Amino acid sequence: MLAKRIIPCLDIKNGRTVKGVNFLNLRDAGDPVALAKQYAENGADELVFLDISATLESRSTTIDMVRNVAEQIDIPFTVGGGVSTKEGVELLLKSGADKVGVNSAAIKRPELVNELSKAFGNQCIVVAIDAKQVDGKWLVHLAGGTIPTDLDLFEWAKEVETRGAGEILFTSMNNDGVKTGFANAALAQLSETVNIPIIASGGAGTIQHFIDVFTDGKADAALAASVFHFGEIAINDLKQELKSNKINIRL
Amino acid sequence: MNVIIIDYGAGNIQSIQFAFQRLGINAKLSNSIDEILSADKVIFPGVGEASQAMQMLKKSKLDLLIPTLKQDVLGICLGMQLLCKHSEEGDTKGLGVFDVDVKRFSNAVKVPHMGWNTIQNLQSGLLKGIPEDTYMYAVHSYYASIGKQTIACSKYELEFSAALQSDNFYGVQFHPEKSSKDGAQLLQNFLNL
């Protein structure tokens, strides 16, 4: 049976891991390759690297990091953050990334999703969506969640599926960094809306939150950062606990 | 040992090269017919769309070479699917090594089938030392049906071939290069065949 996936997310800047709380106040949490290796050994099913570098110079450091990660770890990983061109995606895939995440660039020019999935196959195109619930409506945000758009989360998700996304990584900005659980109602609605896998992001604080996101939230995968980076939840313990709650998981 | 990974412009083959590197083997990427013929073991990878991949094979005449190879060949993911009779993806005629057809999962399930799934009814030396119900990482929208050459099954919507074998030709739907230590075991088994 297909297992639910646990995905640590590593935010990368200048070749180092950082994690924002509500996208601000970055804290350093270590060397990405060493962390990646440790997570793979501890039972992570996949990894996501989010490049929050601003400069081109820093981005070339990311390509080196992608190569190093691909050389050393034997589980799949996605790289996202600032990806906006077919050439950029190709370079990441050629450096050893299994999947590439696109976000703002797809909102600005939705045809990019068609072009990428046609060129590289939809299995390696993850569309990341940051959304915030405002007056009961889930609005998609641009640029790491800083700029609101008038796009509706569910309509946008449907659109990127039609355009060839292989997977959706949905981050609830209401939940991100506050550790009170995932946005399960929105996640469950998302799973009803589209027929591609959904990675839930934003809100993990306890093991119970992961149980809830796989049951109530119907997520295919759950992503978290700080609870893993700072050792608040050990992936092995988390997976044991999920298994004893009858959630199908790879041990 | 001389291991060649067929490089015809398909997908993330770097990862396969790295996986062999972790086993201490320097696998070489090549599309040269002479180099492929002189290899001890041949890896036939593939990620992407079937009809496009087949076109690329034809361009370098690899479509004629591959079915005639006498050494052990391992098709991975789309590589395995291209070794089958026919694929619904782009209505593509396959190389016909495996006597099964490739079909698309229905929309009763999420497509692509993505993530770690268990494999069962393991039957070949390729899977030696790998226990029943081991998890392997897979990502695909099309599947090879079950047939006489099926050497491992997996289940998603229905039962399909997770691995196939016909004489010296082997194929796996999942990605051993991304399937942690069990995937590494499979690649080591392939080298040991």
Please determine, for residue A142, whether its predicted confidence score (pLDDT) is greater than 90: no
Q: CA-nearest residue of chain A to B135? A: A250
**Whether A166 and B114 lie within 8 Å, measured CB to CB:** yes
CATH number attached to the domain at A5-244:
3.20.20.70
Q: In this model, does residue A159 exceed pLDDT 80?
A: yes
Q: Encoding tokens for residue A103?
A: 């976000």
Residue A28 has pLDDT above 70, yes or no: no
CA dihedral sign of residues A49, A53, A59, A62: negative
Of A71, A94, A121, the CB nearest to B48: A121
Note whether A79 contacts B: Cβ–Cβ < 8 A: no
DSSP letter at B130 equals P
Q: Amino acid identity of A49?
A: F
Name the band, by pLDDT with cuts 50, 70 and 90, for residue A57. low
Closest chain A C-alpha to B53 CA, distance in angstroms = 11
pLDDT at A24 exceeding the cut of 60: no
Q: What is the pLDDT of residue B76?
A: 97
B18 interfaces chain A, CB cutoff of 8 Å: yes
What residues does each domain of chain A span? Answer: 5-244
Hey, is the C-beta of B155 within 8 angstroms of any chain A C-beta? yes
Q: Which of B7, B12, B118 to mutate to test the interface with A (most CBs of A within 10 A)?
A: B12
Question: pLDDT category, A19, cuts 50, 70, 90?
Answer: low
CB B10 within 8 A of CB A123: no
Q: Please, are residues A206 and A229 in contact by the beta-carbon 8 Å criterion?
A: no
- Cβ distance B114 to A70 less than 8 Å, yes or no, reads no
**What pTM does this model have?**
0.94
Q: Give the pLDDT band of residue A56 (cuts 50, 70, 90).
A: low
Q: What's residue A23's pLDDT? A: 36
In the residue annotation, A11 being an active-site residue is answered as yes
pLDDT of residue A27: 47
How far is it between the farthest Cα atoms of chain A?
47
CB atoms within 10 A of CB B142: 24
Q: At what angle do helices A111-120 and A86-94 cross, to 10 degrees?
A: 30
Per-block mean pLDDT, blocks of 10 residues, chain B (193 long)? 90 88 96 96 89 92 97 97 97 97 96 97 97 97 97 98 98 97 98 97
For chain A, say whether B115 makes contact (Cβ under 8 Å). yes
Which helix (H) or strand (E) element contains residue A131? strand A125-134
The proportion of chain A whose per-residue pLDDT surpasses 70, expressed as a percent, equals 93
**Predicted pLDDT at A35:** 83
* CB-based contact B135:B155 (threshold 8 Å): no
State yes or no: pLDDT of A125 exceeds 50: yes
Cβ–Cβ gap B155/A93 under 8 Å: no
Q: What are chain B's domains? A: 3-192 (3.40.50.880)
Contacts of B15 in chain A (CB under 8 A): 70, 96, 98
User: Residue A229's closest CA among A12, A16, A17, A13?
Assistant: A17
- Residue A14 binned pLDDT confidence (cut-offs 50, 70, 90): confident
